Each structure stands twice: as structure tokens, then as C-alpha cells.
């Protein structure tokens, strides 16, 4: 049977004229289509304020995909807000942190993308740069706004043997797209960095002895033009079937 993959929905908490001034949850279609293309059944889940529902949810799904979106609140890793902190949603933060913690206890595989990487790191005890300007060593442009999202814009270095060797087909200088202004500062205990940009920003990590993979770029925007990027979603589907 095809595995059921829960994709964390993104709150949009401002009224939408096209939706009769209602507020909505949404997910970019690339995540949905990539899960389907990899052989899974996607189900979008809204971030509930009732965290006890997480256990019920995890009884019914086989894998978790955490998508991009708003900034992670620094209060969740013991910091005060930086002047360049963007929009946050504490409801989503708390729900996804609980989702990560409970899914790991149940050995349910997780793939985190962009903000998904960041929330996994925070859930496990790591910290973030609230804005890349906090580290003057970051000299590469990591926000490719104005450029098509499917266009790779900078290269990465692979640090450990992993699924990324297949994703990049053993390229000597693999390249990714880049759409973020927050990043990992302190990597969470019990994790291993898998890739970094050439200015030292952590681009991917795994959780040791768990089926948890986190990446900073956006393969859901690339896989139609780079079939190797679909292997990240195929990894999730394979782990969910085990």
C-alpha cells in the first residue's frame, strides 16, 4: 500500500478577499505533487492548538513532511527577537515541535525542508540565526528572490556519505536553490551535518540513528527539472514503507 504522508499546513492568518475574507491554511502544490510522484499519498494537516491530537494523528500516518514558510520564533530556543526577525506563528511552531518529538518516539520518518530543517533543529535543542546578517561570514546570496525558484543559484559541499550522494549524482560541485534568511546556528545534539554552503551555512543534516533528514533548499521547486531531487521524497516514501 502507498504510505500516507502528513504535510504540515501553513497558516495564513490575514483575511483573504477571494475567500470571503476568511483566513486559510495552505501548502504550495510542489510538496503535494512531489510526494505523489515519489509514490506516497499526501495529506495536509493544519497546526492544531490541541497538541493531544498529535498522538491520534501519528497513529494514522506513515511519514511526515515539514514545509517552508514563516520564521521560527526565537522564544522557542531561548532568545529575544532580532530586529530583522520576520513573521512568526507560535501555533505552528508548537504544533510542529510536538510533531517532531512524538514522531521520533514512534520512529516515524521525517523530511524537513527549509523552515522544516530549522524547526527540527529547534525541536531537538539547537538554535538559529534569526537573520543571516547575524553572521558576517555568510557572504553568499541565500535569498534568490527575483529568480525562478527552480533555478540552482549556489553550490554546496557534501560532508558525509548519505542519500545526498544519490541526489546530486556524485557531482563534484552540486548546486541548489536558496530561499531563506534564517539558518542553523548551533546544530542540535545527536545530529550530523551532511552538507554546507561554501560560506559555512549548514545546508543539510540527519538525526543519528533515526529516519530524519533535513535540508535547507527547496527540492519541491526543482524536481520537475532535476529528477535527482525527487530522490529526497523517494527516501521519505521508502522509509515510511519500512
User: What angle, 0 to 180 degrees and rounded to 10, lies between the N-to-C axes of helices 90-105 and 115-123?
Assistant: 70
Question: Of 86, 118, 111, whose CA–CA distance to 231 is shortest?
Answer: 111
Rounded to 10 degrees, what is the CA torsion of 113, 242, 187, 171? -60
- Say if residue 158's pLDDT is above 80: yes
Residue 22, by phi and psi: left (phi above 0), alpha (psi -120 to 50) or beta? beta
Alpha helices in the chain (DSSP H): 29-38, 53-58, 90-105, 115-123, 164-167, 230-241
Q: What percent of the chain has pLDDT over 70?
A: 99
Question: Of 25, 8, 26, 14, whose CA–CA distance to 66 is shortest?
Answer: 8
Question: What does the pLDDT look like over 189-210, one tens digit per residue?
Answer: 999 999 999 999 999 999 999 9
Mean pLDDT over each residue of the chain, to the nearest integer: 95
When pLDDT is averaged across residues 155-179 and rounded to a whole number, the result is 94
Contact 182, 129 (CB under 8 A): yes
- Give the model's confidence band at 67: pLDDT under 50 very low, under 70 low, under 90 confident, else very high: very high
Contact 183, 201 (CB under 8 A): yes
Per annotation, catalytic residue among 98, 114, 142, 180: 114
Who contacts 83 (Cβ-Cβ below 8 Å, separation ≥6)?
Answer: none
* Cα–Cα dist 108/102, whole Å: 9
- Give the model's confidence band at 49: pLDDT under 50 very low, under 70 low, under 90 confident, else very high: confident
- Say if residue 147's pLDDT is above 90: no
- Say if residue 134's pLDDT is above 80: yes
90 assigned to active site: no
When pLDDT is averaged across residues 233-240 and rounded to a whole number, the result is 98
CATH code for the structural domain at 4-241: 3.40.50.880
Cell match 534568490: residue? 144
pLDDT at 204: 98
166 assigned to active site: no
pLDDT at 46: 93
Contact 242, 62 (CB under 8 A): no
> What is the C-alpha radius of gyration for the chain, rounded to an integer number of angstroms?
17
Contact 92, 99 (CB under 8 A): no
pLDDT at 103: 97
- Say if residue 125's pLDDT is above 90: yes
220 assigned to active site: yes
Per annotation, catalytic residue among 96, 98, 203, 220: 220
- Give the model's confidence band at 72: pLDDT under 50 very low, under 70 low, under 90 confident, else very high: very high
pTM of the entire predicted model: 0.96
pLDDT at 14: 73
When pLDDT is averaged across residues 222-229 and rounded to a whole number, the result is 94
Amino acid at each position: 500500500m502507498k504510505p500516507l504522508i502528513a504535510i504540515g499546513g501553513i497558516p495564513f492568518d490575514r483575511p483573504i478577499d477571494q475567500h470571503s475574507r476568511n483566513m486559510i491554511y495552505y501548502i504550495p502544490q510542489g510538496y503535494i505533487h512531489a510526494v505523489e510522484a515519489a509514490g506516497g499519498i499526501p495529506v495536509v494537516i493544519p497546526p492544531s492548538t490541541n497538541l493531544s491530537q498529535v498522538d491520534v494523528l501519528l497513529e494514522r500516518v506513515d511519514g511526515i513532511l515539514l514545509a517552508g514558510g514563516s520564521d521560527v520564533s526565537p522564544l522557542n530556543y531561548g532568545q529575544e527577537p532580532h530586529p530583522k526577525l520576520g513573521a512568526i506563528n507560535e501555533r505552528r511552531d508548537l504544533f510542529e515541535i510536538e510533531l517532531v518529538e512524538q514522531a521520533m518516539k514512534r520512529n516515524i520518518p521525517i523530511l524537513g525542508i527549509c523552515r522544516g530543517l530549522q524547526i527540527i533543529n529547534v525541536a531537538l535543542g539547537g538554535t538559529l540565526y534569526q537573520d543571516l546578517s547575524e553572521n558576517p561570514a555568510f557572504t553568499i546570496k541565500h535569498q534568490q528572490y527575483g529568480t525562478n525558484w527552480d533555478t540552482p543559484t549556489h553550490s554546496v559541499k557534501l560532508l558525509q556519505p548519505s542519500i545526498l550522494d544519490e541526489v546530486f549524482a556524485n557531482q563534484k560541485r552540486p548546486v541548489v536553490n536558496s530561499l531563506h534568511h534564517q539558518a542553523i546556528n548551533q546544530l542540535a545534539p545527536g545530529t550530523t551535518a551532511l552538507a554546507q554552503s561554501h560560506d559555512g551555512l549548514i545546508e543539510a543534516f540527519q538525526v543519528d540513528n533515526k529516519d530524519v533528514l533535513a535540508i535547507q533548499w527547496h527540492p519541491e521547486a526543482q524536481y520537475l527539472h532535476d529528477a535527482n531531487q525527487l530522490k529526497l521524497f523517494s527516501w521519505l516514501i521508502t522509509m515510511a514503507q519500512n
